[in-house]
């Protein structure tokens, strides 16, 4: 059966609190937003101040980009890219579209609320249901055309906003394809190994979601959580975080490392599905967003994956007698359903054999060893 990405949560509805807060009216942190280490699966005390370990930055025009990408994926599961070909004007346009959206009144935004079994629309992050405390953020997810929702938000000029989204998605899709071939190439995988990429390797049937995240300035940032620690259920994610810091990644042996915003750079996360097809060679990076006292922060994530209902599995070239497949075949839709049910245990729930020593399995985040 050919399911679309938008069908992923039909059998996993989640009822998040519909009434959304007006963050601007909150001058102190309500208890429902105050996180203690017990509320988080990955405590804050792991934050590394001034660690000299920093997320790799790769210039995509560098002749060595393939090798550098392989090393970054293997050792970090995340890297920043420069010279990626996305015009600054487009990044500015999507940022200001996001700002217009989140500055609408709560009543207006709720007209485009995501339904419990839907994928697109306004609301808290889906993973909120796994936490007792609320996150200091709001989000808007776009899968397919945003026109119906945007008509609710901006009855007069929804067209202008739809065009920006369309253009952004077109450019991101091309960049995602380029990054896929760099990441796959670094593993010795070529076009004939990925049938669903199409004869020209342009990933025509790929699915994607665009996630706009808004983190208002927060009266008590040290006790709040912008977006709780998670891995992305994607092949890869392209994140634009503009010029306000907040993104942190968990580095084994070091703790939480801030990904510093660099003008015009984009952050690339290895997602759970790439971890699966690489047969565990590339870890999907655990990350979170923290908030700050004075600045509103906006981030835009392009979540890229395979066609929603094709089965993906560890690539046959990476599997052999000494490297048995670590994961069973699964489609993106099924994986999203699994994530909706098991959250951070989703990857281990599709794992075929237990890691030899779970203390060193970087993608079993329940046992990850941090110093
Ligand atoms: C395709 C998707 C991945 C995502 C769930 C979604 O259906 C669309 C939103 C994505 C997002 C963005 C914020 C963090 C996250 C964990 C969440 O709650 O919604 C991711 C989901 C994911 O990667 O699992
Ligand atoms: O806002 C950020 O920096 C992180 C966003 C994120 O992790 C996501 O949208 O999946
Ligand atoms: Fe994420």
Nearest to 318 by CA among 364, 269, 280: 280
What is the ipTM for the molecules in this complex? 0.99
Edge-to-edge strand ranges of the sheet holding 57-59: 57-59, 78-82, 266-270, 236-240, 297-305, 207-215, 138-142, 121-123
DSSP 276: H
CA separation for the pair 67, 327 (Å, rounded)? 26
Q: Is the CB of 119 under 6 A from ligand 1?
A: yes
The yes-or-no answer on residue 126 being catalytic is no
Per the prediction, the chain carries an average pLDDT of 91
Q: Would you say 276 and 239 are in contact if contact means Cβ atoms under 8 Å apart? A: no
At residue 368, the pLDDT reads 37
CA 81 – CA 61 distance, rounded (Å): 10
Q: Which ligand is nearest to the CA of 288?
A: 2
- How far apart CA 8 and CA 335 sit, in angstroms, is 9
Interatomic CA distance for residues 106 and 257, integer angstroms? 33
Partners of residue 58 on adjacent β-strands = 81
Q: How far is the CA of 230 from the centre of ligand 3 (A)?
A: 6
Between 363 and 335, whose confidence is greater?
Answer: 335
Question: Among 43-57, 218-232, 297-311, 327-341, where is mean pLDDT lowest?
Answer: 43-57
* C-alpha 278 to ligand 3 mean position (Å): 19
Compute the average pLDDT of residues 63-91.
Answer: 98
Quick one: how far is CA 215 from the chain centroid?
15
Long-range Cβ contact pairs of 148-156 (< 8 A, separation 24 or more): 149/112, 149/120, 149/121, 149/122, 150/112, 152/111, 152/112, 153/101, 153/104, 153/108, 153/109, 153/111, 153/112, 154/100
Place 17 in a pLDDT band, splitting at 50, 70 and 90.
low
* CA-to-CA dists, residue 60 to 18, 81, 85, angstroms: 42, 6, 9
Give the C-alpha separation, 36 to 304, whole Å: 33
Pocket-testing residue among 115, 116, 211, ligand 1, by greatest number of atoms within 8 A of Cβ: 211
Among 176, 303, 309, 346, say which to mutate for ligand 1: greatest number of ligand atoms within 8 Å of CB.
303
Q: How many CB atoms lie within 10 A of CB 252?
A: 15
Give tens-digit pLDDT for 188-245: 999 999 999 999 999 999 999 999 999 999 999 999 999 999 999 999 999 999 999 9
Strands (E), 83-120: none
Q: Which of 15-19, 35-39, 112-116 has the highest mean pLDDT?
A: 112-116
Residue reference for tokens 């329940």: 366
Q: Please, what are the domains in the chain?
A: 43-350 (2.60.120.330)
Rg of the Cα atoms in the chain: 20
Does 371 score more than 50 pLDDT? no
Q: Is the pLDDT of residue 295 over 90?
A: yes
Report angle CA 112, 114, 118 to the nearest 5 degrees: 135
Q: Is 125 in the pocket of ligand 1 (CB under 6 A)?
A: yes
């Amino acid at each position: 059966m050919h399911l679309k990405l938008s069908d992923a949560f039909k059998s996993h509805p989640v009822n998040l609190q519909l009434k959304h807060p007006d963050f601007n009216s909150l001058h102190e942190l309500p208890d429902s937003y105050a996180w203690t280490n017990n509320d988080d699966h990955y405590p804050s005390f792991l934050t590394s101040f001034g660690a000299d370990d920093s997320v790799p930055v790769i210039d995509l025009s560098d002749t060595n980009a393939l090798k550098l990408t392989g090393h970054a994926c293997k050792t970090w599961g995340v890297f920043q890219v420069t010279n990626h070909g996305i015009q600054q004007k487009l990044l500015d346009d999507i940022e200001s579209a996001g700002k217009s959206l989140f500055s609408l009144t709560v009543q207006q935004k709720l007209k485009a609320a995501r339904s419990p079994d839907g994928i697109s629309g306004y609301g808290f992050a889906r993973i909120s249901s796994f936490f007792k405390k609320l996150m200091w953020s709001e989000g808007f997810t776009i899968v397919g055309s945003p026109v119906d929702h945007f008509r609710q938000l901006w009855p007069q000029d929804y067209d202008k906003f739809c065009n920006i989204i369309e253009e952004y998605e077109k450019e991101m899709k091309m960049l995602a394809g380029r990054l896929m071939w760099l990441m796959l190439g670094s593993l010795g995988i070529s076009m004939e190994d990925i049938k669903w990429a199409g004869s020209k390797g342009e990933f025509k049937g790929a699915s994607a979601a665009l996630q706009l995240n808004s983190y208002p300035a927060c009266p008590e940032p040290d006790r709040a959580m912008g977006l709780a620690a998670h891995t992305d259920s994607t092949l890869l994610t392209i994140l634009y975080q503009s010029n306000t810091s907040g993104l942190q990644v968990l580095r084994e042996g070091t703790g939480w490392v801030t990904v510093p915003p660099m003008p015009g750079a984009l952050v690339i996360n290895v997602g759970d599905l790439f971890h699966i097809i690489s047969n565990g060679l590339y870890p999907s990076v655990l990350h979170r967003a923290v908030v700050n006292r004075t600045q509103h922060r906006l981030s835009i994530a392009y979540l890229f994956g395979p066609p929603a209902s094709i089965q993906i599995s560890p690539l046959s070239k990476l599997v052999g007698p000494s490297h048995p497949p670590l994961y069973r075949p699964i489609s993106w839709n099924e994986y999203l359903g699994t994530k909706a049910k098991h959250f951070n245990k989703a990857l281990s729930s599709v794992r075929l054999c237990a890691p030899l020593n779970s203390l060193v399995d970087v993608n079993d985040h329940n046992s990850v060893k941090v110093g």
